[in-house]
Structure 1
Amino acid sequence: MNRLPSWIRQHLAALRAVAVLTVILGVAYPLATTGVAQALFNGKANGDPALIGQSFTDAEGNPVAKYFQSRPSAGGYDMLTTAAGNLGPEDVVDTLAVPGTVDDEGNPDEGRQSLLTQVCARSAAVGRLEGVSGARPYCTPDGVGAVLKVFPAIGTPTRAVSVNQACPVQPFIATYQGVKVECGKPGEDYAAGRTVPIRGDAQAVVPADAVTASGSALDPHISVAYAELQAPRVARERGLPVERVTTLIRRYTTGRPLGFMGEPGVNVLELNRALDKG
């Protein structure tokens, strides 16, 4: 019997490998994992909205006062765009918007907020909503990062600029090491200066999870501290005793994963559902 040419045998072997791997990885493995999930996690394997963070805002993006608010989301709680912001603790300098300029698509220049300024702005907004101080370390009173660019980068300062506060705003501090602090001028390049965040003496009342997004941008939980901060507002808006609202917070608080990982969390969606049911 004549042997098949080597190139045909190689192609047949490749086709057999594709067929076997398709059956194993495309059929057997998905069926096995689905079966295990259904057996061990029957209540969650088919999906549950309570596992995904939700936004409780109006059409303009303003918080609806009668609801507990979720933590910020870098993806807007859109499951198709779930992602982290990928900004780190060194992202503290804003790009100030230059008035009258437009981007490549013709939209007005809006600049770019650093992670620090995003945190400061969120803290100020939460403070206003809850009737508490939104101040926190490294934030200016007007809700941007308290950051200077100092010149020269090495040596005795001769110039200092509050780079996140656009002129004509009064800088958050008057002087730095004897040098008058200037406001930031949009469009000016301050890259050569030394970056100096100023801590200040503010004590944060607003919890960290109220001003930072989760890694998935879909976290359905907030800290107990953030839930308790919101309780008086929610109770007032719904005409309920605060004690009734705090009782529901405890009911929808989950413990640490595996008993030791992380911190207890409050499921915002389940808590708001319970409040709507009365």
Structure 2
Amino acid sequence: MFNPIWVRRHLAALRALLVLTVLCGVAYPLAVYAVAQVPGLRHRADGSTVSLHGRTVGSALIGQSFTGRDGAPLRRYFQSRPSEAGGGYDPTATAASNLGPEDTVDTLPAPRPTTGPGAEPPPADGGGRQSLLTRVCSRSKAVGDLEGVSGARPFCTPGGVGAVLAVFGKRTPDGTVPHPTRVVSLNEEQGMVKAPFLATYKGVPVEPARFGEDYADGLVVPIRGGAPADPVVPADAVTAGGSGLDPHISPAYAALQVRRVAAARGVAEDRVRRLVEDGTDGRDLGFMGEPRVNVLELNIVLDRRYPVRA
């Protein structure tokens, strides 16, 4: 029986569709599922969920916040690394801030009345846009305040913003301004600070920035300040991971939190410190990556061993 060429072509396409559907839609998924059930892989394939008292409380592969309803850190728990994924640790919006090391100048928020007619609370994010430097500085200050240590870092003001000046005046060929005529603290807004972090710069009084004023003609000068080169607050406590889902912190950041957690749970620091040491994972294969502590797993062990009595 003779079939027209268009019929043969459609039959060939139909056969290819059926074969590819069986291979890619049935055989391949079943093969992947079978491999995922191999001992040693099954837990990860199922999401590495972690349970406490019979209830799933998270995944060992995805970080999460340990804060109260007001957003403040819960003192009885170890705190995770900051996250820029969505509202924080959102697996559907995994991302970093994409801000580079030269992002040092904030976009100041519009002034808002806080008292009297038309008063309104400030927005949750403070309005405007924080530079990467100010994000690091503000986090370092917050961690320092929480842990009772110095949150000082180079190029940060005591108030927790980037210590950056706009210096106006005639520039020399090498790009410097040896004799400034005006100096502005770019990340400190007028009305929000009592005084700039630096009183004078090269003999010129430093003034706070004003909302809406253009400082593009000024030379941007970061001020290192007197903070130690090796801050007390570790880097992973103030910088977000590339995915925003990192479930681990460094042993140094965990050690910084031991005293607070032990005091909140009413146990000796040595006992909490021992749990941190037991929960510290070494480098993969002995040489890849860095030692790390899984925050969720550590907090679960704490709840099991030293529960907080209401």
Would the TM-score normalized by the shorter structure come out above 0.5?
yes
Amino acid at match of 2:267: L
Residue 231 of structure 1 deviates from its aligned partner by: 0.3
Residue 5 of structure 1 deviates from its aligned partner by: 4.5
Task: Summarize the Cα distance change of 1:255–1:5 in structure 2 as closer, same or farther, 3 Å threshold.
Answer: same
Structure 2: tracts of 5 or more residues without a match:
49-58, 114-121, 306-310
Equivalent residue runs for 1:172-191 within 5 Å? 172-191=197-216
Equivalent residue runs for 1:236-255 within 5 Å? 236-255=263-282
Task: Summarize the Cα distance change of 1:13–1:185 in structure 2 as closer, same or farther, 3 Å threshold.
Answer: farther
Q: Distance in 2 between matches of 1:173 and 1:79?
A: 42
Task: Summarize the Cα distance change of 1:186–1:231 in structure 2 as closer, same or farther, 3 Å threshold.
Answer: same
User: Contact 1:153–1:192 (CA<8 Å) still a contact in 2?
Assistant: no
TM-score normalized by the length of structure 2:
0.80
Is 1:79 the counterpart of 2:91? The answer is yes
In structure 1, the residue matched to 2:159 is 142
Task: Summarize the Cα distance change of 1:60–1:15 in structure 2 as closer, same or farther, 3 Å threshold.
Answer: farther
Q: Distance in 2 between matches of 1:71 and 1:234?
A: 16
Q: Distance in 2 between matches of 1:239 and 1:149?
A: 49
Give the aligned length: 272
Q: Distance in 2 between matches of 1:148 and 1:209?
A: 27
Is 1:205 the counterpart of 2:215? The answer is no
In structure 1, the residue matched to 2:254 is 227
In structure 1, the residue matched to 2:190 is 167
Residue 269 of structure 1 deviates from its aligned partner by: 0.8
Structure 1: tracts of 5 or more residues without a match:
102-106
Residue 252 of structure 1 deviates from its aligned partner by: 0.8
Is 1:35 the counterpart of 2:62? The answer is no
Q: Distance in 2 between matches of 1:240 and 1:97?
A: 44
CA RMSD of aligned residues (A): 2.3
Residue 112 of structure 1 deviates from its aligned partner by: 1.0
Residue 17 of structure 1 deviates from its aligned partner by: 4.5
Task: Summarize the Cα distance change of 1:31–1:145 in structure 2 as closer, same or farther, 3 Å threshold.
Answer: same
In structure 2, the residue matched to 1:59 is 69
User: Contact 1:153–1:194 (CA<8 Å) still a contact in 2?
Assistant: no
Residue 175 of structure 1 deviates from its aligned partner by: 2.7
Q: Distance in 1 between matches of 2:9 and 2:262?
A: 72
Task: Summarize the Cα distance change of 1:26–1:258 in structure 2 as closer, same or farther, 3 Å threshold.
Answer: farther
Task: Summarize the Cα distance change of 1:175–1:9 in structure 2 as closer, same or farther, 3 Å threshold.
Answer: farther
Residue 133 (structure 2) aligned to one of 93, 116, 138: 116
TM-score normalized by the length of structure 1:
0.89
